[in-house]
Structure 1
Amino acid sequence: MRSANRLFTLLLLSLAVIAPAAAATLDEVIAKHIEARGGRDNWDKIRSIRMTGDFTAFSRVAPFTLTRARDNSYLLDTKLNGRVVIIGHDGATTWWNNHWFKEGAERMTGIDSEVARADAYFVNPLFNYRELGMTAEYLGETEYEGMPALGIKLTRPDGAEETWYLDPSSYLEYARTSPGSDFGRPLPQRTFYDDFREIEGVMIPFLVETQWYTRNRVMHVNNVEVNIEVDPAMFSMPSPEGMAELLNMVGNWKVAVAQRDRPGGPLKESELEIDIASIMDGQLIQTNYAMDDGYRVQWSLSYDASRKIYRLTRFHSGAGYMDIRQGTFDDDGKLTLSNLETETPYQGVELTMYGRFNVLEIAADSFKIEREASIDGGKNWWVAATEVYTRRP
């Protein structure tokens, strides 16, 4: 009986020892992986990384620059088959300037955005998967592409899954499977990591290859710099083409108005408060405000990048129609928008009145709008109103 009790006691003790070890296996493997990559302390000393090298896609090689900063800020600048592709993430917004589709920065959406966000992690998500809202599952000893591996499956907050494969001897990653994108079409992708080299006490792969179906993209790193000076603004989405200066007009304004109803007529002065908003990621600015005579005015202003021209749509509740004006900046920085070319003048009972909308002296806290009119088909113009905008505190 004593032997049976002793055997039972040993069995309980062995289970007590085995159970915590099994529960700690995931944390143990990740801890060894972090140590293999240089250790958390060494990585914590690094605030920014810049990599340069060669990017191969469609069998064509182009230089690339990849800059990373803490908070998962990321900027990749390269060419894809001869066309500029810039991908950025500022920790919140993911964007690209992809000349395969159009020139100019725009917000990334759908699977393209998901893939870019997954590439933006400062090291990789195994370092802080819990902080990222992910769950992890240790798959144990397995193999991938015929090579032995330790597998770890991560599940993102949106339910998407990625699996990391670590070398059982070095604990460095050598492969990852994850959701991918081929010009917006979702598909599975696999990524391989090789040629790890020590830089400032941490291990960085100098070869990264991404594959899906018959395509692949390869990044050969030639140089790595750490803790370089980085302007956080470089990661933010640039203003849409043609809109950088006009976005200074966005805000809350006190407006001094002086207007007349006929050439040489007396000026009537008033003061308004006007709010101008930016929408569609800065592609359009617009306002809707009440005049002191009770009428309302709504206008929107944007840049047509394909035709290299600015276009204004304006609706005055008293006139009751949509006026469309277009134009460009002159060498002095004045934007003149006219409805002569668009043929949308005000048509009264006895007259046809064309209009010009001039935006000038744009600064951080002020600008001016002149509204001109012509009743002889644009031969002569007179200033119908001036509006001086001063930013409200």
Structure 2
Amino acid sequence: MQHSKSLLRLLTLLMITCLGHAVLAQNVDDIVAKHIKAMGGDKLGQLQSMKITAEMDIMNMKVPITTTIVQNKGFRSETTVQGMTVVQAVSGNTGWTINPMAGNTKAVALPEDAVKSLANETDLTGLYRYKEKGYKVTLDGEEELAGAKVYKVTMILPSGVRRINYISKDTFYILKIVAQTKVNGQDIMSENTQSDFRAVDGVYYPFASEVTTSAMPGTKMGLKITALEINPKIDPKIFEMPQ
């Protein structure tokens, strides 16, 4: 009889544990679903390319940046500092850069971890259909962020990159992303606080953000988007390394 009672307690505990995980999974899926709806719903699935023109305010300088992305295929950024343009690009598993500020006026290959980091940026749709992408997502509680109540949703990409998304309980926009990645053999932590969400062709996007990174301690970078094009026609050759 005592053995039966112990077995019953164990089974009850297992059921509670399993049901608890099921409820938690349901909660995170509900939150993600509301986030996707807030960002444009199934219009996110129609994103094939994007071109972003922005200006970064860093160390009292206005730095223009143009970023071009083709979904899951290519990423290219062009940043002009003091008259010199730095280019970084990835296509598939390869990447390259032209950095005249470092004395490289011709294209050189990017390190493998830098390529992996930039390749993650070719996904324009974030949490949309995250299970199909192989992303692992968990709900890690609730917090307050600058007076706003948020859900803390952690996303781990197949590459191993960890991103913590702070999703507003009010708007279901992502108000902040904390990302951990590896660049040049070093673990880099970055924070991106997002605001000024606007709709472009039915897809919502943050037009203002403030970025800090452990690679540049004490430095805040403000970014404002001046133009955003959805599904522009992109020549895939811009991602290829110049000879």
TM-score range (shorter-chain normalised) is 0.7 to 0.9
- Tell me what 1:30 maps to: 32
- Tell me what 2:241 maps to: 237
- SS of 2:47's equivalent in the other structure is coil
- Tell me what 2:13 maps to: none
Tell me how far 1:174 sits from its aligned partner. 1.0
Question: 1:43 & 1:117 partners in 2: Cα distance?
Answer: 19
**Mapping of residues 41-80 of structure 1, within 5 Å:** 41-80=42-81
Give the letter aligned to residue 118 of structure 2.
A
- Tell me what 1:377 maps to: none
The equivalent position to 1:112 in structure 2, one of 111, 114, 129, is 114
**Paired residues of 1:53 and 1:219 also in contact (CA < 8 A):** yes
**Paired residues of 2:39 and 2:203 also in contact (CA < 8 A):** yes
Question: 2:185 & 2:118 partners in 1: Cα distance?
Answer: 12
Tell me how far 1:167 sits from its aligned partner. 0.9
**Paired residues of 1:50 and 1:66 also in contact (CA < 8 A):** yes
Residues 1:222 and 2:226 aligned together: yes
> Taking structure 1 as reference, are residues 158 and 44 closer, same or farther at Cα in structure 2, changes over 3 Å only?
closer
- Tell me what 1:242 maps to: none
- SS of 2:78's equivalent in the other structure is strand
Residues 1:156 and 2:160 aligned together: no
Tell me how far 1:69 sits from its aligned partner. 1.6
Normalised by the length of structure 2, the TM-score is 0.79
- Tell me what 1:287 maps to: none
Tell me how far 1:192 sits from its aligned partner. 1.4
Aligned Cα RMSD in Å? 2.8
Question: 1:181 & 1:79 partners in 2: Cα distance?
Answer: 25
**Paired residues of 1:111 and 1:185 also in contact (CA < 8 A):** no
- SS of 1:105's equivalent in the other structure is strand
Tell me how far 1:38 sits from its aligned partner. 0.5
Tell me how far 1:185 sits from its aligned partner. 4.7
- Tell me what 1:367 maps to: none
Query: When the two structures are aligned, how many residues end up with a matched partner?
Result: 224
Tell me how far 1:208 sits from its aligned partner. 2.7
> Taking structure 1 as reference, are residues 129 and 109 closer, same or farther at Cα in structure 2, changes over 3 Å only?
farther
Question: Cα deviations across residues 218-256 of structure 1 (Å, max 9, x unaligned)?
Answer: 3211112222211111122222xxxxxxxxxxxxxxxxx
- SS of 2:125's equivalent in the other structure is coil
Unaligned 5+ residue runs, structure 1?
A: 1-13, 240-393
Question: 2:113 & 2:146 partners in 1: Cα distance?
Answer: 25
- SS of 1:113's equivalent in the other structure is helix
Question: 2:56 & 2:70 partners in 1: Cα distance?
Answer: 21
- SS of 2:63's equivalent in the other structure is strand
> Taking structure 1 as reference, are residues 104 and 146 closer, same or farther at Cα in structure 2, changes over 3 Å only?
farther
Give the letter aligned to residue 191 of structure 1.
N
Tell me how far 1:35 sits from its aligned partner. 0.7
Normalised by the length of structure 1, the TM-score is 0.51
**Mapping of residues 217-366 of structure 1, within 5 Å:** 217-239=221-243
Give the letter aligned to residue 190 of structure 2.
Q
Question: 2:241 & 2:200 partners in 1: Cα distance?
Answer: 30
Higher helix share: 2
- RCO greater where, 1 or 2, for CA within 8 Å and sep 6 or more? 2
Greater Rg over alpha carbons, structure: 1
> Taking structure 1 as reference, are residues 123 and 85 closer, same or farther at Cα in structure 2, changes over 3 Å only?
farther
- Tell me what 1:208 maps to: 209
Question: 2:21 & 2:47 partners in 1: Cα distance?
Answer: 37
Question: Cα deviations across residues 247-290 of structure 1 (Å, max 9, x unaligned)?
Answer: xxxxxxxxxxxxxxxxxxxxxxxxxxxxxxxxxxxxxxxxxxxx
> Taking structure 1 as reference, are residues 69 and 52 closer, same or farther at Cα in structure 2, changes over 3 Å only?
same
Give the letter aligned to residue 120 of structure 2.
A
- SS of 2:101's equivalent in the other structure is coil
Question: Cα deviations across residues 170-204 of structure 1 (Å, max 9, x unaligned)?
Answer: 11101111125788753311111111101111101
> Taking structure 1 as reference, are residues 207 and 182 closer, same or farther at Cα in structure 2, changes over 3 Å only?
farther
Question: 2:187 & 2:22 partners in 1: Cα distance?
Answer: 40
Tell me how far 1:131 sits from its aligned partner. 3.6
- Tell me what 2:194 maps to: 193
Give the letter aligned to residue 158 of structure 2.
P
- Tell me what 1:262 maps to: none
Tell me how far 1:19 sits from its aligned partner. 7.0
Question: 1:188 & 1:19 partners in 2: Cα distance?
Answer: 29
**Paired residues of 2:116 and 2:159 also in contact (CA < 8 A):** no
Question: 1:182 & 1:58 partners in 2: Cα distance?
Answer: 22
